Structure 1
Amino acid sequence: MSLHPTLQPYADAWTHSIEAISELVTPLVEGEWNRRTPCPGWSVRDLVSHVIGLDCEMLGDPRPIHTLPRDLFHVTNEHQRYMEMQVDVRRHHTAPEMTSELEYTVIRRNRQLRNESRAPETKVRGPLGSEPTLEEAMRNRAFDVWVHEQDLRAALGRPGNLDSPGAYITRDELLAALPKVVAKNAGAPAGSAVVFDVHGPVEFLRTVRVDAEGRGSIDGTPSLGPAVTLTLDWETYYRLACGRVTADVVKDRIKAEGDPELTAAILLSFAVTP
């Protein structure tokens, strides 16, 4: 048996992004591993450690036994503590140690994917004792690795791959969260519609509609007389939705029309990643 067709796009996206990450970090000298990334408290080394650690967990490796320092200002909740464990345990690893472990982990994951015969709905181990399906876990890895590839590109001044396979999986993940952002978090009124017009390497137009009960839904058709229309480029969209920037930092890249209070509430609630 081979990888289920439903899972293949996630495997392809993960492979594309992880190879890009490897290409980005392999030539780095020791000091460059300490560069800050858009992730609070994380250097290039920390971010690559995170990627390695979560793929090791996908391989079924045991989590490290490690005590976190008490002075990590960016670690404020249980989810962050969970993620920090794989990072802090590698914090003093050298550049050759990092690239060697990354290369070895990629080899092992590629072998795992070649031999993967489980059904998409199979339950697997997830963070903090969760049990996502294999499909959910692979989709999350494709999403996570693409976003972190972009974090590394930002840290190293090497833009690219904004329209790679992982970008489209990221788009779909972020759009799935949009009805909740608009209807629940931002409190858009019943019967209203909010349009998102995104241009650039990944283009789309989506309308979030709020029904009479205040529930949000999303579709690809325009709305006549929306309460708010937000026009922005894809890079700004994903950076906002992934919490890499706040709206005030990129306000010159956002065109907003309609209710200013609702616009402000939507942009304030836009980040959907932990």
Structure 2
Amino acid sequence: MPATDPVAAWREAHERVCALVLDVPAQDLEASVPACPDWTGRDLLSHVVGLAADVLGGDEPDDHHAAWTQAQVDARADRSVEELVAEWRGNADDLVAWMGEHGSRPLNDVVIHEQDLRGALARPGGAHSAGVAIVRDRMAERLGRALQGRPPLALVGQVWTWTSDGGPVDAAAVVLEAGDLDLFRALCSRRTADQLRSWTVRGDVEDHLDGFAGLGSLPDHPLPE
């Protein structure tokens, strides 16, 4: 499959995360993940592993509510990192086949949480992957829907540029400029309101801030990434 195929991108992200968690000392995964402060790194790994298992088992609520995700963590509380990776790898082929029939929603979860883990572990990587590009565009589309009827917003990165109404950047009422990875993380509710304000080079982002909270409340403090 080509690298731009979302299922192939899931495969790549899956293997990057497996390699990452197997490469760090196990105790490092017992620290809290700032982007998901209620969970440790091992908890976050349990969630992405559990999501794959639940999707294959036909248990995937539309809203991915907190009780559902926490149950994935609780069910794996006594498993080692190696056991979690073995479970995830054991489900990988079946999940790839499932995505071929039902769509690649699981890509969003693994790509977003890969960066959560990397930030927590100070192990950067994957920022220029096909998965990040695909999920960034999906999250931007989601933001565009949330901002319908509001003055146009433009996000201008080093390479990537987007406008909420599909028009030119010059016509946008509000323009934010930042690095491509920062913009991706902002689209995933991983940047503070103050960071978004600091990137504003035209207009006032205040009335658009709630659109960036589509995956949860914006963090109170910048994440260590």
Is 1:54 the counterpart of 2:51? The answer is: yes
Is 1:195 the counterpart of 2:154? The answer is: yes
d(CA) in 1 for partners of 2:64, 2:58: 21
Q: 1:272 aligns with which of 214, 217, 223?
A: 214
Question: Partner of 1:24 in structure 2?
Answer: 20
8 Å contact kept, 1:241–1:270:
yes
d(CA) in 2 for partners of 1:9, 1:57: 23
Deviation at 1:46, TM superposition (A): 0.6
d(CA) in 2 for partners of 1:171, 1:27: 27
Alignment of 1:113-262 (within 5 A): 113=96, 116=97, 120=101, 134-135=102-103, 138=104, 140-183=105-148, 188=150, 192-199=151-158, 203-209=159-165, 219=166, 221-249=167-195, 251-252=197-198, 254-258=199-203, 260=204
Question: Partner of 1:101 in structure 2?
Answer: 84
What SS does structure 1 have at the residue aligned with 2:163?
Answer: strand
Q: Highest CA radius of gyration, 1 or 2?
A: 1
8 Å contact kept, 1:247–1:268:
no
Question: Partner of 1:124 in structure 2?
Answer: none
Deviation at 1:47, TM superposition (A): 0.5
8 Å contact kept, 1:46–1:87:
yes
d(CA) in 1 for partners of 2:52, 2:208: 33
d(CA) in 1 for partners of 2:195, 2:25: 31
Deviation at 1:150, TM superposition (A): 0.7
d(CA) in 2 for partners of 1:224, 1:249: 22
Q: Deviations over 1:118-144 (max 9, x none)?
A: 974xxxxxxxxxxxxx01xx2x21111
Q: Which runs of 5+ in 2 are unaligned?
A: 217-225
Change (3 A) 1:164 1:119: closer
Question: Partner of 1:33 in structure 2?
Answer: 29
Deviation at 1:198, TM superposition (A): 2.0
Q: Deviations over 1:156-190 (max 9, x none)?
A: 10111111121111112112112223236xxx2xx
d(CA) in 1 for partners of 2:106, 2:64: 20
Change (3 A) 1:112 1:180: closer
RMSD between aligned residues:
2.8
d(CA) in 1 for partners of 2:69, 2:98: 28
What SS does structure 2 have at the residue aligned with 1:82?
Answer: helix
Letter paired with 1:177: R
TM-score, with normalisation over the residues of structure 2?
A: 0.81
* Matched pairs, number: 212
Deviation at 1:207, TM superposition (A): 2.1
Q: Deviations over 1:200-246 (max 9, x none)?
A: xxx3222223xxxxxxxxx2x41544311111212221222212231
Q: Which runs of 5+ in 1 are unaligned?
A: 64-76, 121-133, 210-218
Change (3 A) 1:78 1:16: closer
What SS does structure 2 have at the residue aligned with 1:159?
Answer: coil
The list of structure 1 runs, each at least 4 consecutive aligned residues, that deviate by more than 6 angstroms after superposition, is: none
What SS does structure 1 have at the residue aligned with 2:168?
Answer: coil
Q: 2:66 aligns with which of 80, 83, 94?
A: 80
Change (3 A) 1:83 1:231: same
